[in-house]
Structure 1
Amino acid sequence: MEPRLMNNLRVVLLFFILISTASCENDLDLKFCGLWQHGKGSLSLNVNLSKGCSGISVSANQSALSIEGQITAQCKQANEIQLGLNLKEETPFCLYWDPLLDHLMLQVGGKNLTLCYPGSLKGSSCCTDLSDGPKADQAPYGIKNGIIKTDFISSKTRTHYNFTAQPINCKMLCDQQSQQSTRGNMTERAAVKSFAGWNIEHPCARSSEVEMTEDFRGVNVTSPFSKGESAESATTVHLPPALKEAAKKSNKVVCTFFQNNSLFQEVDKEARILDDVVGITVENEIIVNLSEPIRIAFHHDVIPKTHSRSCVSWDTRKDPLQVNWLGDGCEVGQKGEKYTECLCNHLTYFTVLVQIKPRPVRHLLALTAISSLGSAVSVISCVAVIVFLARKSKRCKEASIHIHLGLAVSLACLNLLFFFTGVLANVGGESVCVWVGALLHYSLLCSFAWMGAEIFHTFWLICIIFNPSPKPFVWYTVGFVLPAVPTVILAAVGDIYGVKKVAPSDDINNPYLMCWMKENPKALLAHYFTNMTVTMVLVSSGFVMLFMVYRKIRTREEWRQNRKAFLSIWGLSCLFGTTWGLTFLDFGRLADFMLFISCILNSLQGFLLMLRFYMLDWLRKESGGSTLGTSSTGSTRQHMLKAQEQGKRDSEQSCSSHALYAKMQNPFQRK
């Protein structure tokens, strides 16, 4: 045979193969996207869906987007949903349809709305092969830039798009798609579905129906999908007898098994859900708060110990625009590297959420013990300082006493709340932690505010020695009222304070619970704008103030007395809050060491404050019994920065820094 004839035959054969392949495949999914041209004001979504397979229409006008038609096998819905979105006059949207699962979802304004929840069709007629029907007229409001999958249709603004459909046997379509998945020919379908994290193992769901008889004592339902040759690797659901008692209208329970996590909304980018998802429903009933939990045993690939896992449910009871994976009502039972048991007290869709990028804390138990012990000691120490300063204020009118008193009170509240935060989080839960977290944040900001007041007061006494310092009510306003402003604003915004989980590196699945800011974008933004920003300003200001004091005293003869020099610098460091700067050094090889040092110094800050006042009082007695000032600069000046000329000082003059400074020619002038 001639080579030319042979080539022609090969081309003809290839052409028939392509035709036969194309003829046996159906245009399975629908992805229709466009720009909704609408007016300003309230927007709504009108949904009118019924069973059948005639087609679907997507229309839009100035105030509403409408989806109606016959396209579903089991889903029937007719309602109006208020979008309530503050959108521009052009809003992108996409409509997704999966006939194998009877799943219809709309994405509008960056949010996902499930119109028909996924399920098993059981050999029903699937509605597929949707194609664009008759063209609509152009209008000022409607749908612009219509796209079907990747095919651009029209740039004009049309009032509606009509899609006609053809019914097909679901089993045949499912077998066809399974064969494509086996051959690895799922590129086009995976490209159509634009959500991240799609992992298609089997395109169809399988369901099992259980009849709960009068003598129902519980039953195990096993998924037809298995991870290996053994049936023991399949997902298993145990329905307890309590489910029979809770179901009032129906005795039938349907367990649907999915191997396609792409059906559900995205989760956090740092987490993923298992490929296996289980849906448990009782028709026309909402089952919650079961007295005995449903047990779901998931078998999966190996989950490293550094990755936390939690049992979650797809909440379909609230606003459909807020459907997401939640941990409410579920907890982890037995678990292993390839096995996780979930205990849940309600019915919906269930799976396991795995944290991909864990942030475990090394030596969490030791750090917790140090913090708790240090907080307890600091609370007792701060109470002693408060009593000492309260007595001192009766005979001394020095402004610095009010600042020291405010710092001691705020540190006492901070350490007291931190000591009990773990207990309150475990006992009270989210409702209690909203208030405790806000109070803890307020106490922290108060402590920072009073440390800033110490820095400013020291600067005032050094640079403006002949002017009276601000009145006590000014300091109290700055220290107690000003920190309340951001705390009240964040509490009003909501979803900021609550239970925070701190995962230890040795057992990441048993996190330490505390009341603080949550781990969500809003709380993280609040943390950086309040805590981190204030800490950076405080620490930098404290170091600048310490440097100014050092430059004034480094040539003095008293500086050579190491004990007094160390006491002054160390005491000012404690008051100025410079130890909080260690929190920024938690990186590199010395991260663990710096974390321990920071934990020790900051948790014992109240004790160090008491120790400073005790040492000052001891030095006063050692120096001859004269009463020494207790201000941040008072102790430094009276111990180290002696004036060139000092007159006679009685106890009243020594209590008033400004009276003493008025008698000084120039306390910071070098000799």
Structure 2
Amino acid sequence: MRDLYSFIIWILSYQIITGQDPPREQYNISCHKVRETCMQDPSKSVPRCIENYMRRCSMIRTRTPVEGYYTRDMSDSRPMLETEEGIIVHISSEALQKSRTKEKMNSNLIVSLVNKTFFVTNSSPEVVYGDNVLGVWLGVKEISNLSEPVQLRFINSNQNENVSCVYWHLDQNGNGYWSTEGCSTNVTNNEFVCSCNHISFFAVLINPKIPEEIHIVRLNYISYVGSALSIVFTATVVIMFLCQRKKHSENSIIIHAQLAGSLFLLHVLFLCSVWFSDRSDQVCTTLGLLLHWCLLATFSWTAIEGFHLYLLLVRVFNIYFKRYMLKISLVAWGVPTVTVMICGIIGKYTSVYGKYAIHEEKEKSSNTSICWITTQTVISYITVNGYLGLVMLFNTVMLAVVLVKMHKLRSQDVQIKLNKKRLWKDWVSLLGLCCVLGVPWSLAFFTRVPLNLPVLYMFTVLNSFQGVFLFLWFLTLTCKARKEEFVPSKGTLNVSFQSTEEHITTNVVSNMIQKK
């Protein structure tokens, strides 16, 4: 009989690991030890574990205060609790009434601060205000649908008004996501006031991704239309470059063709990753890996564009390298290949690529998904954010060099300086360079500022239609080059076909020669 009883206890204990409610025999744990006990195995759902234990744990008084853990008997006349961090929890009389049972008429309010790293969704990480999430429990019952909501007050230390009060919605599998359902937000100069009709894990999100679902739909349509047009126009650009290469073999032409090719592959893989995200895990994993490779290849070729511009503007006369195109091609295509191979090897142990939820606001709602990197941690930050940051830093410096060179050129030549038409053409050339150097990608670092919604629209439009802009820029250069073949301008080198960088460079070089 004793062996049978032990076996039953073992079976019930297993339910704790699987995320189900723990058995009665396991409720003898002290409430102040629940958080540390559940954090010992972070591979399991820590919020689910804490939620299960906190409702029926043993209220044992501790001699010394436990950091981040607070409790209060709700039998007194002031149903509120204030933490050392300045968070104030007000419990409504309706919540107290619902928390009472036949066995116990007075309930204990438990408040615990849990590290926000345990509350991560499959989509991009949320910006949680502060370092912790506030967990609130009142008795053993689940309290919800309150007509008189509970109130939580967070100190507004940075005067940020673009916030939203949310709670952590737990599903049956122990996973969860942030939701604003049942919570309202009121911002004052000193506090964030959250009024919610239930009790759960609460937090304040600074600058939520997009507050309204209609913006998600609009951004999706912009992305799809822009990517489809970019596919058509980048394919046209590649064909035009190849036709020009039959007569001319400038390195700039080949580099631009490679950039257009990488953009073509990027937009094709982007649409495929969206449309086939509901297929099998193997298909989505493959598409996510290829999309990652195409994105890194695009970043690499924009960096090569910046490097080639450096040779033309800074090195000028000493720009010959043996097998130059072969070397830069190996770098631009090889670095992304090695990176995704390493990520693929890591993926055998931890799932790196797969279905990635872009938008997941409410349960049973239509979600926007894509085959992409699922582990938004070191892999994503280093290979995408870090790599893009280095590329944009270098290319921004090169744009600054172009501006300085053009300013010096105009200050030395009065005739060109007074020519407004020539100045307008220079600015058009700069806009073309911004497109080639991938400057619009830098907007990705500003999508979490207070005005993130306009920035998101700008980022989506500029990068989705980048192939169209590249085509227009190349078409303008082609017409300009053909015109200069018949009417060579004075003070510039007569060239048959040149990129924007070479036009600027030859103007600078010719002016230097004439001055000497």
TM-score norm. by structure 1 comes to 0.49
Cα displacement (A) at 1:443: 0.8
Task: Check if 1:497 corresponds to 2:427.
Answer: no
Task: Check if 1:446 corresponds to 2:321.
Answer: no
In the alignment, the residues of structure 2 paired with residue 500 and residue 468 of structure 1 have an alpha-carbon distance, to the nearest angstrom, of 45
Cα displacement (A) at 1:581: 2.1
The corresponding residue for 2:258 is 406
Task: Check if 1:566 corresponds to 2:427.
Answer: yes
Task: Check if 1:516 corresponds to 2:368.
Answer: no
Task: Check if 1:481 corresponds to 2:331.
Answer: no
In the alignment, the residues of structure 2 paired with residue 441 and residue 552 of structure 1 have an alpha-carbon distance, to the nearest angstrom, of 36
In the alignment, the residues of structure 2 paired with residue 193 and residue 500 of structure 1 have an alpha-carbon distance, to the nearest angstrom, of 38
The corresponding residue for 1:434 is 285
In the alignment, the residues of structure 2 paired with residue 109 and residue 493 of structure 1 have an alpha-carbon distance, to the nearest angstrom, of 25
In the alignment, the residues of structure 1 paired with residue 465 and residue 303 of structure 2 have an alpha-carbon distance, to the nearest angstrom, of 19
Q: Secondary structure at the match of 1:74?
A: helix
The corresponding residue for 1:602 is 463
The corresponding residue for 1:592 is 453
Q: Secondary structure at the match of 1:465?
A: coil
2:394 pairs with one of 541, 549, 554: 541
Contact kept in structure 2, 1:403 and 1:475, CA below 8 Å: no
In the alignment, the residues of structure 2 paired with residue 457 and residue 624 of structure 1 have an alpha-carbon distance, to the nearest angstrom, of 24
The corresponding residue for 1:60 is none
1:328-477 superposed matches below 5 A: 337=182, 356=203, 359-362=208-211, 363-425=215-277, 427-428=278-279, 430-462=281-313, 463-469=315-321, 470-477=323-330
The structure that is strand-richer by fraction is 1
Contact kept in structure 2, 1:199 and 1:275, CA below 8 Å: no
**Runs of 5+ unmatched residues, structure 2:** 12-21, 50-54, 75-94, 99-109, 120-127, 152-163, 184-198, 488-494
In the alignment, the residues of structure 1 paired with residue 281 and residue 4 of structure 2 have an alpha-carbon distance, to the nearest angstrom, of 42
The corresponding residue for 1:343 is none
The one-letter amino acid of 1:391's match is C
In the alignment, the residues of structure 1 paired with residue 468 and residue 61 of structure 2 have an alpha-carbon distance, to the nearest angstrom, of 67
TM-score norm. by structure 2 comes to 0.62
Contact kept in structure 1, 2:477 and 2:499, CA below 8 Å: no
Task: Check if 1:312 corresponds to 2:183.
Answer: no
Contact kept in structure 2, 1:382 and 1:409, CA below 8 Å: yes
Task: Check if 1:577 corresponds to 2:438.
Answer: yes
Q: Secondary structure at the match of 1:623?
A: helix
Change (3 A) 1:620 1:540: same
Q: Secondary structure at the match of 1:449?
A: helix
Cα displacement (A) at 1:381: 1.0
Cα displacement (A) at 1:590: 3.5
**Count of aligned pairs between the two proteins:** 398
In the alignment, the residues of structure 2 paired with residue 618 and residue 394 of structure 1 have an alpha-carbon distance, to the nearest angstrom, of 18
The corresponding residue for 1:634 is 502
The corresponding residue for 2:9 is 75
In the alignment, the residues of structure 1 paired with residue 480 and residue 135 of structure 2 have an alpha-carbon distance, to the nearest angstrom, of 64
In the alignment, the residues of structure 1 paired with residue 24 and residue 505 of structure 2 have an alpha-carbon distance, to the nearest angstrom, of 79
Cα displacement (A) at 1:451: 0.7
- 559-568 or 569-578, larger mean C-alpha shift: 559-568
Deviations 1:93-140 (A, max 9, x none): xxx9973659999969943799xxx9xxxxxxxxxxxxxxxxxxxxxx
In the alignment, the residues of structure 1 paired with residue 273 and residue 170 of structure 2 have an alpha-carbon distance, to the nearest angstrom, of 25
Cα displacement (A) at 1:631: 3.5
In the alignment, the residues of structure 1 paired with residue 484 and residue 363 of structure 2 have an alpha-carbon distance, to the nearest angstrom, of 55
Q: Secondary structure at the match of 2:246?
A: helix
In the alignment, the residues of structure 1 paired with residue 150 and residue 266 of structure 2 have an alpha-carbon distance, to the nearest angstrom, of 38
The corresponding residue for 1:186 is 59
Cα displacement (A) at 1:337: 4.7
Deviations 1:599-655 (A, max 9, x none): 2112211111111110011212333447643445224345x54724xxxxxxxxxxx
In the alignment, the residues of structure 1 paired with residue 42 and residue 477 of structure 2 have an alpha-carbon distance, to the nearest angstrom, of 64
Deviations 1:3-49 (A, max 9, x none): xxxxxxxxxxxxxxxxxxxxxxxxxxxxxxxxxxxxxxxxxxxxxx9
Give the RMSD, CA atoms, in angstroms. Answer: 5.1
In the alignment, the residues of structure 2 paired with residue 199 and residue 510 of structure 1 have an alpha-carbon distance, to the nearest angstrom, of 41
Change (3 A) 1:616 1:631: closer
Cα displacement (A) at 1:429: 5.7
Contact kept in structure 2, 1:433 and 1:515, CA below 8 Å: yes
1:196-235 superposed matches below 5 A: none
Change (3 A) 1:196 1:436: farther
Contact kept in structure 1, 2:69 and 2:111, CA below 8 Å: no
Cα displacement (A) at 1:267: 8.9
In the alignment, the residues of structure 2 paired with residue 544 and residue 112 of structure 1 have an alpha-carbon distance, to the nearest angstrom, of 43
Contact kept in structure 1, 2:481 and 2:498, CA below 8 Å: no
In the alignment, the residues of structure 2 paired with residue 501 and residue 490 of structure 1 have an alpha-carbon distance, to the nearest angstrom, of 20
In the alignment, the residues of structure 1 paired with residue 333 and residue 240 of structure 2 have an alpha-carbon distance, to the nearest angstrom, of 21
In the alignment, the residues of structure 1 paired with residue 64 and residue 25 of structure 2 have an alpha-carbon distance, to the nearest angstrom, of 17
The corresponding residue for 1:215 is none
Change (3 A) 1:558 1:526: farther
Deviations 1:353-407 (A, max 9, x none): 9785554324222222222221111111100011011112222121222211110
Q: Secondary structure at the match of 1:428?
A: coil
The one-letter amino acid of 1:580's match is W
Q: Secondary structure at the match of 1:482?
A: helix
Deviations 1:57-111 (A, max 9, x none): xxxxxxxxxxxxxxx583258xxxxxxxxxxxxxxxxxx9973659999969943
Q: Secondary structure at the match of 1:395?
A: coil
Contact kept in structure 2, 1:312 and 1:353, CA below 8 Å: no
The structure that is helix-richer by fraction is 2
The one-letter amino acid of 1:111's match is D
The corresponding residue for 1:647 is none
The one-letter amino acid of 2:510's match is A
The corresponding residue for 2:41 is 111
Cα displacement (A) at 1:445: 0.7
Cα displacement (A) at 1:461: 2.4
Contact kept in structure 2, 1:381 and 1:607, CA below 8 Å: yes
In the alignment, the residues of structure 2 paired with residue 517 and residue 198 of structure 1 have an alpha-carbon distance, to the nearest angstrom, of 41
Task: Check if 1:99 corresponds to 2:10.
Answer: no
Contact kept in structure 1, 2:477 and 2:500, CA below 8 Å: no
Cα displacement (A) at 1:298: 10
Contact kept in structure 2, 1:361 and 1:502, CA below 8 Å: no
Q: Secondary structure at the match of 2:221?
A: helix
Indicate the structure whose relative CO is greater, using CA pairs within 8 Å and at least 6 residues apart: 2
Change (3 A) 1:538 1:76: closer
In the alignment, the residues of structure 1 paired with residue 290 and residue 70 of structure 2 have an alpha-carbon distance, to the nearest angstrom, of 39
Change (3 A) 1:275 1:413: farther
